[in-house]
Homo-oligomer: A and B are copies of this chain.
Amino acid sequence: MRTVKVSLGSRSYRIRIGDDLLDVLGRECSRLDLGKRCAVITDTRVAPHYADRILRALGAQDFHPRLIVIPAGESSKSLPVVDRCYQELSDHRLDRQSFVVALGGGVVGDLAGFVAATYLRGIGFVQVPTTLLAQVDSSVGGKVGINLRSAKNLVGAFHQPKLVLTDLRVLDTLPPREFRSGLAEVIKYGVIWDPALFRLLERSMGKILSRDRAVLARVIARCCDIKAEVVTQDEQEGGLRAILNFGHTIGHGIEALAGYGRYLHGEAVAIGMVAACRLSHALTGLSRDEGARIVNLLKQAGLPVSVQLTHPRRTRLFEILSLDKKTSGGRPRFVLAHRIGHVLHGQEVPPQSIADTLASLSGSEFNSLATPSRPRSRQQPCPPAGKENDVQRE
């Protein structure tokens, strides 16, 4: 079992990564200072596989869990589902010592975390992520939330879990498309922080896609390490943490445009990363070669790297971007790469560059960025190196 520590003072916690950890959930929870009543929130896709094991593991240590099964899919990250969970917690008489276990992917974790963050002004919360995406990203760092009709994750809280239990064997039952979706976030960590991880992914994508557990354990632990490091430095996204949003500004926009659930999160982020690479090439000096490597790695992982958008859809997407949470003073801010392992956050991008990039997304080749914007963009000075927005790890 590998352990990654997230150091946040009184809110510190451990991420346990290994095989067959579901069965030790009760034992791990009994080491925390928690009451006996709890709720397990999971969804209709995960419950048939793992709910019984989780309930048994908790029951064996005298916990009294209430099982709450929500409909699978992004549309469950909504206020009506939150309301239903509150009622179940109240019916089961959860008190301030009680806790919530999130058994599932990012949707379950975000929703259950928001419920735990706000029920009785915040109760304990344990993450048992069952998708690759949740294991490397959403279960770590304490961002929880739900969607509004107008935008994704517009409502939420920072609420750190007490424990993250990552069982590698649950990935065996993960559908291939879900697995690939998680790889988008894995690749993102290489781009934003760690060229060595990026090269490992380039070398080992075959093994990863065949779900070689030894490689996966190494990759997942490294991703959690990176996220823990970033979150420790900037828990509430005052600055550095924004780099985790590489590819997410346009990615979230594409999800909202298509209707939540049409694209998996990682698929939308993959397209968003391609867009971010094109903007990075135009504005922050990402080389054509490295841009192409990123696009190729996404393709190797079986992720989409292009999307057909009619002109009216692009206009609508542009509007959605203006409402993005990462907006400051009405202008969207982007995370852009200087090279693999080195990104800059808080980048303002000229509206014309955004429009050109959206127009270019129907092509999958890296060099398909509409040429007219490049000469103009090149005249934009790169942000000076060494400033607070400058992040580098090699």
Residues of A within 8 A of B (CB): 35, 79, 82-83, 86-87, 90-91, 93, 95-97, 114, 117-122, 143, 145, 148-151, 154-158, 236, 322-323, 325, 327-330
Give, as a whole number of angstroms, the nearest-CB distance from A150 to chain B: 5
Do B154 and A95 have beta carbons less than 8 Å apart?
Answer: no
Q: Answer whether A158 and B122 are a contact pair too, CB < 8 Å, given A90-B148, A329-B35.
A: yes
A330 to chain B: closest residue by CB: B93
**Interface contact A149-B87, CB-CB below 8 Å:** yes
Given that A93-B330, A330-B95 are known contacts, is A120 also in contact with B325, CB under 8 Å in the complex? yes
Whether the pair A157, B122 counts as a contact (CB closer than 8 A) is yes
Q: Are A323's CB and B79's CB within 8 A?
A: no
Q: Which 3 pairs from chain A and chain B are nearest by CB?
A: A121-B156, A90-B150, A95-B327
On chain B, the residues within 8 Å of A120 by CB distance are 154-156, 325
Determine whether the beta carbon of B329 is less than 8 Å from that of A95: yes
Q: Which residues of chain B are near A35, meaning CB under 8 Å?
A: 329
* Apart from A90-B154, A120-B156, A121-B157, 9 more pairs, CB < 8 Å: A86-B155, A91-B150, A95-B325, A95-B329, A96-B328, A117-B157, A119-B155, A120-B325, A122-B158
Contact (A325, B96) CB under 8 Å given A118-B157, A156-B118: yes
Known: A79-B82, A95-B329, A330-B95. A121 touches B90 (CB 8 A): no
A321 to B97, alpha carbons, bound, how many Å? Answer: 17
CA distance A236 to B159 in the complex (A): 14
Cβ contacts under 8 Å, A87 to chain B: 148-150
Q: Which of B79, B97, B157, B330 contacts A328 (CB 8 A)?
A: B97
The answer for the CA separation of A143 and B117 in the assembled complex, in Å, is: 13
**Across the interface, which residues of B come within 8 angstroms of A158, CB to CB?**
121-122
Q: Which residues of B contact A97 (CB under 8 A)?
A: 328-329
Q: Is the CB of A322 within 8 A of B93?
A: yes
Distance between A109 CB and nearest chain B CB, rounded to angstroms:
15
Cβ contact within 8 Å between A328 and B95: yes
Closest residue to A146 on the B side, CB-wise? Answer: B118
Q: Which residues of B contact A86 (CB under 8 A)?
A: 148, 154-155
User: 17 A–B contact pairs at CB < 8 A?
Assistant: A86-B155, A87-B150, A90-B148, A90-B150, A90-B151, A95-B327, A95-B330, A96-B327, A96-B328, A97-B328, A97-B329, A118-B155, A118-B156, A121-B143, A121-B156, A121-B157, A122-B158
What are the residues of chain B within 8 A of A151 when measuring CB–CB?
Answer: 90
Chain B residue at minimal CB-CB distance from A93? B323
Query: How far, in whole Å, are A329 and B145 apart by their CA atoms in the complex?
Result: 28
* Residues from chain B with Cβ under 8 Å of A157 in the complex: 117-118, 121-122, 157
* A155 and B325 alpha carbons, distance in the complex (Å): 24
The closest CB in chain B to the CB of A145 belongs to B121
